Amino acid sequence: ETGVTQTPRHLVMGMTNKKSLKCEQHLGHNAMYWYKQSAKKPLELMFVYNFKEQTENNSVPSRFSPECPNSSHLFLHLHTLQPEDSALYLCASSQASGGGADTQYFGPGTRLTVL
């Protein structure tokens, strides 16, 4: 399954580092999403982009900064993270968002560890 790819797959960073997560979708979709998956908790929606415009910020701390240069690419820029930010970060895409009936397709995730 190569519809949605994410790099890197694993990332270890210190609290003072700056790093970026990358997501690319090859499905011709117009909506892209960032989710956080922590152990024993439901997936948490972080950001939604629809036609390159951010349409949702789910009260995410400013140390997470998304960027969507085009409909195929989505970045999550990370700086001064905390250990509790360690989690699996999932990217997803769908035809569009807001209509409610679009299936989301997920990438493999980036396993982030903050030391």
Partner 1 sequence: AQSVSQHNHHVILSEAASLELGCNYSYGGTVNLFWYVQYPGQHLQLLLKYFSGDPLVKGIKGFEAEFIKSKFSFNLRKPSVQWSDTAEYFCAVNPPRGSSNTGKLIFGQGTTLQVKP
Residues at the contact surface with partner 1, assessed by CB under 8 A: 1, 4, 40-43, 45, 48, 56, 90, 92, 97-101, 103-109
Q: Which is nearer to partner 1, 78 or 97 (CB)?
A: 97
Cα–Cα nearest to 46, from 97, 95, 91, 113:
91
Nearest one of 102, 23, 36 to 70, comparing CA atoms: 23
Task: Name the nearest CA neighbour of 64 among 74, 54, 47, 76.
Answer: 76
* 61 upstream amide cis, omega within 30 of 0: no
- Minimum Å gap between C-beta 73 and partner 1 is 18
Nearest distance from C-beta of residue 17 to partner 1, angstroms: 26
Shortest CB 80 distance to partner 1, Å: 27
Q: How many Å apart are CA 102 and CA 104, to the nearest integer?
A: 6
C-beta separation of 23 from 107 below 8 A: yes
15 versus 96: smaller Cβ distance to partner 1 = 96
Q: Which is nearer to partner 1, 38 or 82 (CB)?
A: 38
Q: In whole angstroms, how close is the CB of 68 to partner 1 at the nearest point?
A: 17
Enter the tokens of residue 105: 């397709």
Closer residue to partner 1 (CB): 2 or 70: 2
